């Protein structure tokens, strides 16, 4: 007969439930489906996580993949057409200001997307980088699709770019995780590689006319593309210490928890993507790389 204890969750479907900040010391989650659950700041000493199903729910995972694919296709289509349309043109031509704006926007979107990955979403730098990257990506897409749907009307294209940029700035300010984070990350990554391609094409153009100095400068710029860390992976660095790919932590006490995160995705501990990690109740000494446990 099942126990009536409030901490007995054995063999239950707990998908997408929030246990944030709860005292779950000694709780039994054995055999549970805890996909999408939020255990941020929870106390989980001696909790039993044997045979749990963890990670993203199929519905949420499918939604994230669809959003990523759609954003990637739209961004790649817009940037490729704008980049190829700008090749062979100079800044002295009437469209020169648009070409300059295209390059700057792609550099901002791609560069700050990489900065956000390296610094994490919980740091102020990472949050600001995500907001600015999302704003730049929104401006690029708004400009292209606003202009292409109105027979390349520059006034409407600029107005659409401003509107979409403002919407993306607000969205990224309020929602730093979930679908918005996926959309910004994908758009920023595509913009970064688009910028690298554009700079490489400019370098080839200079080298082809014996402009060696400028060709070398642009070649160096095209080589410096950003490297992103995988968002879905985590690793165990010490006994009881779990950290995600972007090195962020949550204050969940898991000392003594059974089989926790040994064979499951680290995303079980948060609804966000790539922001998941768990550490024991104590402080991490950054110099010694060891935990100082509280008494």
Give domain status of residue 1, yes or no: yes
Contacts of 133 (CB under 8 A, 6+ apart): 108, 109, 110, 112, 113, 115, 116, 172, 184, 187, 188
Number of domains observed in the structure of the chain:
2
Least confident of 34-38, 67-71, 85-89, 188-192: 85-89
Range of the domain at 214: 58-223
Please tell me whether residues 98 and 200 are part of one structural domain: yes
Residues linked to residue 18 through DSSP beta bridges, in sequence order: 38
Please tell me whether residues 188 and 102 are part of one structural domain: yes
Contact call for residues 267 and 232 (beta carbons, < 8 A): yes
Q: Summarize pLDDT for 165-189 with one digit per residue, the tens.
A: 999 888 888 877 778 888 888 888 8
- Is pTM beyond 0.95? Reply is no
Give domain status of residue 262, yes or no: yes
Which band of pLDDT confidence, cut at 50, 70 and 90, is reported for residue 2?
very low
Please tell me whether residues 67 and 178 are part of one structural domain: yes
| Domain stops at, among 223, 243, 271 | 223
Cα–Cα dist 73/88, whole Å: 25
Helix (H) or strand (E) holding 154: helix 154-174
Cα–Cα dist 157/150, whole Å: 8
Which band of pLDDT confidence, cut at 50, 70 and 90, is reported for residue 272?
very low
| Domain stops at, among 223, 251, 282 | 223
Give domain status of residue 229, yes or no: no
């Amino acid at each position: 007969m099942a126990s009536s204890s409030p901490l007995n969750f054995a063999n239950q479907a707990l998908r997408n439930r929030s246990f944030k900040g709860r005292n779950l010391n000694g709780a039994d989650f054995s055999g549970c489906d805890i996909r999408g659950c939020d255990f941020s700041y929870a106390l989980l000493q001696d909790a039993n996580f044997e045979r749990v199903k963890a990670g993203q729910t199929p519905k949420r995972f499918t939604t994230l993949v669809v959003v990523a694919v759609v954003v990637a296709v739209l961004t790649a289509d817009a940037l490729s057409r704008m980049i190829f349309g700008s090749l062979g043109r100079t800044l002295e031509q009437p469209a020169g200001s648009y070409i300059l704006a295209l390059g700057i926007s792609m550099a901002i979107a791609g560069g700050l997307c990489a900065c956000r990955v390296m610094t994490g979403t919980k740091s102020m730098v990472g949050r600001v980088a995500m907001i600015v990257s999302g704003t730049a990506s929104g401006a690029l897409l708004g400009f292209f699709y606003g202009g292409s749907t109105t027979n390349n009307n520059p006034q409407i294209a600029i107005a659409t770019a401003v509107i979409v940029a403002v919407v993306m700035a607000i969205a990224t300010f309020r929602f730093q995780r979930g679908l918005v984070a996926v959309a910004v990350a994908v758009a920023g990554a595509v913009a970064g590689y688009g910028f690298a391609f554009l700079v490489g094409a400019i370098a080839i153009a200079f080298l082809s006319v014996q402009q060696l100095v400028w060709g070398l400068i642009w070649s160096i710029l095209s080589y410096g593309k950003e490297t992103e860390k995988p968002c879905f992976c985590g690793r165990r660095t010490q006994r009881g210490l779990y950290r995600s790919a972007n090195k962020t932590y949550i204050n969940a006490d898991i000392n003594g928890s059974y089989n926790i995160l040994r064979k499951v995705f680290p995303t079980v501990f948060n609804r966000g993507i790539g922001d998941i990690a768990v550490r024991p109740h104590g402080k991490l000494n950054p110099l010694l790389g060891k935990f100082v446990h509280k008494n």
